[in-house]
Structure 1
């Protein structure tokens, strides 16, 4: 069984049980009970934030990549929002639940009815809290099939937005990982970047280094981390440092599962991210279409 939330492994199954993924195949009574536990945790996802033990996050100036490619995304009707990051000259990625107002009926098949225009801000000014040098409108051009009440839908917590002004020319952008899978990540050191509400009066961007991927599943496209999550960080990037010193985005900060204020990572109190494999093809389509649209027209002979 591939629940892989640390407390849910093959060792927890009764003798003679067949190990199968939670999202398909044979389901025995104990499997069903574990699924119900997972779903109960998921229903509490958006109500809590988890910082495990010592808070290792620090504030730093967004004066270089990868930090300067990360900004805030605000839904103008409610003022609610989170974090987003540049992935090209004219596009950002965030969590699905950031650009859409709370309570909005989400139908990914009809993006136009959902695409509430949000405001992306980048370039936090040194010494000034949440004062940004650049601001532009961002509109959703693709998004996952996100639902809040099941793990399969959790992998759809991503959105790609196009900027009215192409701020990537000024700030650069982050590259998305092409090699990892959720299954290959556990143990990998990560860096998170975001704009948590609790630090809204502090200058700079919030960064945590040295946190780790802990597990994956129980549905494709999601994994657990012990990086600190708080409101306002949703949509921020989780990055892995490469051997050549460059950075690659491996995930998008999504949600915290469970309740209370845990001091240690566990199945019952999981910080969950969407792996880039959940939206990589969509991003390739969007960026490819942008490149074709802006390419110089071929000269006629």
Structure 2
């Protein structure tokens, strides 16, 4: 064998085929599984939308899975007007928006001190915040009820002159329960940020507030957006705390407006389905608006070795 044929021989070799068959089959199996799970989660919503467009007499006669004879949006108009949804929606925004902002603000403070300033006992403090999420909410219903009735508030903050029967009671309860989870997520995210950025800011004379507000928080925007989406959804959908701490029906949140669609002797479940869809629309809109940041916040750090 000559030198020319020896050097040309490797160029004529073809790479061995890899195991593409099993890998493709596994990928198809994953896609089929995710599609099945997505359909399972979307099925109740799709059934509620389908029922809300049909008259109750038709579904009572033919069943909810039958083909429709008539479709209309009349139930949505009735659900909005008969339940007084506009007033209850405003009450929910009064509770949810400040609660989300205050939760993220306090949680980012604590997470910054634990992850970036490396305060003494930071790990123990993080464990305490995390352990707070393991406490069942129903355990402290009675102590909070008694406590809020004893805390006075001025007349311009509460009609009852106490924290009970006010938006503040529901708001503070949500903040107290949600701060621990947000501290855990934000501290983990802040630990993944490059320490050199903070060291360069300290060399340039940046104080603690500048390090927090102008350097760390802008880098945490994806995590804050993801947490804001989750927190708004959880607080918006809450029914327990408002039912316990608010006695004035004019102050109840939007989840309680669905009770106005239930009759004493008869309940039109198609009308109730239309009201449920209307109640769910704001959370869907928030997710669509923050979808890019939400997904970025969930996937950050997934590619780091």
Instruction: Confirm or deny a common fold (TM above 0.5).
Output: no
Q: Rg bigger for which structure? A: 2
* TM-score when normalising by structure 2: 0.24
Higher strand proportion, which one? Answer: 1
Higher helix proportion, which one? Answer: 2
* TM-score when normalising by structure 1: 0.24
Higher relative contact order (CA 8 A, sep 6+): 2
